[in-house]
Structure 1
């Protein structure tokens, strides 16, 4: 039986991963499965993967400095896309600048409720034009909540604490999305990356000794990021789960030994995962919580008491990965969203059988207050569906010739030419909204066959 709580809250499980991959090639598929826990019985709704120091060639670097768009993903993003799409996840968006990449995926069941997807980047490297350091961000409206996904790679070295803060301030000031939204104007910000904050005062030998003894509290007391979180400013608005794992940097490659080179880098928690719920959203959620209390409804164990809850034991480093001098750092959380009117805006129904080199029929239904706009289009996608740009054919949305029914819905009959389709098999039809920068709907999978079949 549904309770009042089921009508008030919507839960989404998010898995996050940040990894400085050290200019290495992508790991094999089995390692990606392990990295993201894809074989878990409790699958995530959203995967957020932020990488630093991915391999780039000079041509790609130069084009991005000159702001030329690249139509290809980095090798890591392609591997992630290939693996996750086979498990019914699609790419919300990927954004990269030089060696910094961010990919966000969602289960295909959530596609109709993810709108207004935007990206932006800010370079803080050499001369503030080089993208080896900086931030990349994705903004999306998810179930009517504005969420910002942020990946940063900040200035390196122990004595560059001030420079790191300057990087942060510049990234938060300069990253703006098309709706003029800033990072901090979002209801929720998920921020991860190689933030490069270090442990002050202690020598390498002292730090390693405390790591062996698991005296993490003593080390965290001298952690530069922890220091900033205690003072007023941008960083103080963010939260972090308790750190119960050893520093993720710096290791000898292909080993679990902290740096044995001549430089003898001091180990540090450079790779971090933070989150921020806006004060306005926090106040609104508190009102929902008070309402639950008023009706004597106690959330069951899987429902967090606050807006976002890091699942216990999930914030950790993965020591088995040895191909970089950093260990990947992962976390898993449950986000509590107010349950608003989450009905689909558009519905697509396939009619009859579709045959290659012919025209297939389908029907588009626009829910109340929804109408087709200029530059909207319909696209044909092969399965497994990967992302909105991967269509095999497309067509402009036909002009409406009917009036709304009593429920305020508009229904439109369409025909799609399959003359450009060279492969038979499973396909989907999607509706792309130019205004919302996203697909509003995907049909169920259907078969396109040859005449002989």
Structure 2
């Protein structure tokens, strides 16, 4: 809850609270305690779940809060506007009319009738029957968080007109968009992404290390559930490539409801022979990201109010990759296929991609626990993403004739959270780089 002092119900006028408990039951008033555990969206969804619960929230806000005592910013999350938006989303999903505006400052009419509508039973019913969301898909529930992840090595090329192909904005399926760029050119990535996603989404935070860039966007209606946002960058000078490009990692960590989410994009050492260097860089990033180390190669930049990360003893090391509940790692990891080019091309042409998996360096590293310990990846059912002749579907025809490889990957690991990989694929329509973008749809179960 950031710098919020005291418990949520400390901000309720005592005499009004007693009246409310007498009329509607202690359980209803204690709904405010959801906020004490930063479970703000659970509170909002509970009071948007039914019309009776919505009226209950209107009375709760209008009668119990002191208009002369401004709530701290964290508590403004318990706002009728947010609850109203969730209720409208519920009604829209059912094909019903949008709930009318609720003004907490307006006089409350029909007090006796409303007291009956806002008793304990409707709230219990709301808790037992969650809000139906428009993004609900088979196998998911309104409590699930749908995350769209995309990684792309841009090859220092300004994106073309099909930049929007990077994002699936059809319908209302995704709650988070996680976007990682490597070798990004000098362009306004934030504005470009915002334009594609539209007003429904807003930027949570970005982490930019020269050409290595990470952007986290979220539905505006879910922004109140996010706290403790932090940014970090890990690099080492000798890992840098040509001027303007950067090897290393950029990361964003946040708390959603009561779960910690860590997103990392990285660009690791190139060339087939450097597999041990890539494994070592993975270990270095895991140890350095958000650590209290004074290493010149780790930059810690808190982006918002301090939280538990800044309360650690400086001498105590931490591993945020191990401690976070959800970690999504994306980027140009640069692992290669250790086979002759002619054999790889022939397998791709005949659709026998499984023949290449055994010689994929990252698959081997995961299997032998040599790097990305505890992470998992979806099946590689798409063709290798590197190296293409720019603007074509032809693999490298230059004098170097690079062996096609799956250099661009998305990995994830969880604890205390069940994750389901819904899709993992290449975006073949974007051809302005020598890399193809890769996307994934990950559902985090029962996170709300």
What TM-score results when the alignment is normalised by the length of structure 1?
A: 0.60
Match of 2:439 in 1: 330
1:27 offset after TM fit, Å? 3.0
The answer to whether the aligner puts 1:194 opposite 2:332 as a matched pair is: yes
For 1:78 and 1:43, locate their aligned partners in 2 and report how far apart those are by CA, in whole Å. 22
The answer to whether the aligner puts 1:139 opposite 2:253 as a matched pair is: yes
**CA offset digits 1:77-132 (Å, max 9, x no partner):** 32112333x33100000111111000010000001100000000001342679961
The answer to whether the 8 A contact 2:266-2:333 is kept is: yes
**CA offset digits 1:211-232 (Å, max 9, x no partner):** 1111111101111111111123
Three-state SS of the structure 1 residue aligned to 2:143 is strand
Match of 1:83 in 2: 196
Residues 27 and 128 (structure 1 numbering): CA distance in 2 closer, same or farther, change over 3 Å?
closer
1:42 offset after TM fit, Å? 3.7
Match of 2:59 in 1: none
Residue-pair matches, total: 289
1:167 offset after TM fit, Å? 1.1
Match of 1:222 in 2: 359
For 2:130 and 2:247, locate their aligned partners in 1 and report how far apart those are by CA, in whole Å. 43
- After superposition, the CA RMSD in angstroms is 2.3
Residues 222 and 125 (structure 1 numbering): CA distance in 2 closer, same or farther, change over 3 Å?
farther
Three-state SS of the structure 2 residue aligned to 1:105 is strand
Match of 1:54 in 2: 184
Residues 100 and 5 (structure 1 numbering): CA distance in 2 closer, same or farther, change over 3 Å?
farther
The answer to whether the aligner puts 1:103 opposite 2:215 as a matched pair is: yes
The answer to whether the 8 A contact 1:125-1:134 is kept is: no
1:207 offset after TM fit, Å? 0.3
Residues 127 and 235 (structure 1 numbering): CA distance in 2 closer, same or farther, change over 3 Å?
closer
Three-state SS of the structure 2 residue aligned to 1:102 is strand
Structure 1 regions of 5+ residues with no counterpart?
57-73, 283-306, 340-453
For 2:334 and 2:383, locate their aligned partners in 1 and report how far apart those are by CA, in whole Å. 15
Q: How does 1:191-340 map to 2 (within 5 A)?
A: 191-200=329-338, 202-232=339-369, 234-278=371-415, 281=416, 307-311=418-422, 314-339=423-448
For 1:253 and 1:107, locate their aligned partners in 2 and report how far apart those are by CA, in whole Å. 34
What TM-score results when the alignment is normalised by the length of structure 2?
A: 0.61
Match of 1:304 in 2: none
The answer to whether the 8 A contact 2:239-2:269 is kept is: no
The answer to whether the 8 A contact 1:239-1:275 is kept is: yes
Three-state SS of the structure 2 residue aligned to 1:80 is helix
1:170 offset after TM fit, Å? 1.1
Structure 2 regions of 5+ residues with no counterpart?
1-124, 132-140, 291-299, 303-308, 313-317
The answer to whether the aligner puts 1:11 opposite 2:144 as a matched pair is: yes
The answer to whether the aligner puts 1:37 opposite 2:168 as a matched pair is: yes
The answer to whether the 8 A contact 2:165-2:427 is kept is: no
Residues 338 and 111 (structure 1 numbering): CA distance in 2 closer, same or farther, change over 3 Å?
closer
**CA offset digits 1:421-453 (Å, max 9, x no partner):** xxxxxxxxxxxxxxxxxxxxxxxxxxxxxxxxx
1:234 offset after TM fit, Å? 4.8
1:336 offset after TM fit, Å? 1.0
Match of 2:84 in 1: none
The answer to whether the aligner puts 1:183 opposite 2:321 as a matched pair is: yes
For 1:23 and 1:109, locate their aligned partners in 2 and report how far apart those are by CA, in whole Å. 34
The answer to whether the aligner puts 1:172 opposite 2:286 as a matched pair is: yes
Three-state SS of the structure 2 residue aligned to 1:215 is coil
More strand by share: 1
